[in-house]
Amino acid sequence: MTLDHAARELGLARSTMSRIENAQVSVRPGDVRTLLELYGVHSDDVAALVQVARDARQRGWWQAYSDVLPSWFEVYVGLEHAASEISTFEVALVPGLLQTADYARAVISAELPDASRTEVDRRTELRMKRQRDEARPELSVVLDEAVIRRVVGGPATMRAQLERLVADAEAPGLTLQIVPFGAGAHPSMIGSFSILVFPDEVDPPVVYLESRAGSLYVEGDGAQAYVRIFRTVQAAALSHEASVNLIRESAKTM
């Protein structure tokens, strides 16, 4: 049984499967059962090993939010926790790791109009806790100018969000750039993406793409293509300092 075969059976990226085998991320009990069957493990041992997987999953703080954490996003939160660097381009929204609670609540309410207040609060709490993770990675963030112009949650909420971006940008650990409207067309106008880099140099980068239907993980040559796109978008963007000044000016208009 090869790593590639196992990854295909579970519908995972090869790098994600590698991290599961090396105990770098948690694995769902159902996936453990599938793997054990693939590996030919005796049925008498399967139940015990699946329970071990259930117990191990409790070590991730995010497991406390399983009631509002889709399985496809749970994988991402684990990878985010393991990453040393994340490079993100966003066309419409402030990234979750930089959102204020009020902004996050407005976004979640818009995305899930039928969700109860309790669910919205739980999802907001999860997003805020991701920001406080002691293992939070270094961030390189490029935003389309539309992100700082769209008034999400009302003027007061948006102004507070922009002020938060300025404060975060003045602290270590974040490089923030804006692609101005005047920059014209660029390679990533079709959508947002994140590139996750891990501490182990032999562990290749993974690109994360999200949609209403779930998520997609890209690696290998595909991931390198996104790395090149990100560099191109960075080159089209304003400098960190000029971007922060633009955000300040936008906040004054709210």
What pLDDT shows up at residue 216?
Answer: 87
What pLDDT shows up at residue 45?
Answer: 63
Domain contains 123: no
Last residue of a domain, one of 12, 29, 59: 59
CA distance 58 to 62: 8
What pLDDT shows up at residue 202?
Answer: 56
Domain contains 214: yes
Q: What CATH number has the domain bearing residue 194? A: 3.30.870.10
Cβ-Cβ contacts under 8 Å for 219 (sequence gap 6 or more): 13, 14, 15, 204, 205, 206, 207
| Residues 18 and 79 both lie in one domain | no
240 alpha-carbon distance from chain centroid? 22
| Residues 226 and 183 both lie in one domain | yes
Phi and psi torsions of 157, nearest 5° = -65, -45
Place of tokens 């014209």: 184
Alpha helices by DSSP H, listed for the chain, are 3-10, 14-21, 29-38, 43-57, 71-82, 101-111, 117-131, 145-149, 155-169, 221-236, 240-252
- Show the tokens assigned to 186: 């660029």
Torsion of CA 26, 31, 35, 37, to 10 degrees: 140
What pLDDT shows up at residue 156?
Answer: 98
The structure's pTM equals 0.78
Domain contains 125: no
What pLDDT shows up at residue 8?
Answer: 81
Domain contains 24: yes
87 alpha-carbon distance from chain centroid? 10
Task: Name the DSSP letter for residue 22.
Answer: T
| Residues 155 and 247 both lie in one domain | yes
What pLDDT shows up at residue 58?
Answer: 52
Domain contains 127: no
CA distance 26 to 214: 19
| Residues 206 and 89 both lie in one domain | yes
What pLDDT shows up at residue 176?
Answer: 98
What pLDDT shows up at residue 143?
Answer: 98
| Residues 30 and 50 both lie in one domain | yes
- How many structural domains is the chain composed of? 2
pLDDT tens string, the chain, 254 residues long: the values are: 677 887 787 777 777 777 777 766 667 767 777 777 777 776 556 655 665 565 555 567 887 898 998 877 888 888 898 889 999 999 999 999 999 999 999 999 999 999 999 999 999 999 999 998 877 899 999 999 999 999 999 999 999 999 999 999 998 999 999 999 999 888 878 899 999 998 876 578 889 998 877 788 888 889 999 999 999 999 999 999 999 999 999 999 99
Q: For residues 230 and 142, is the Cβ–Cβ distance under 8 A?
A: yes
Q: Domain of 74? A: 66-98+134-252
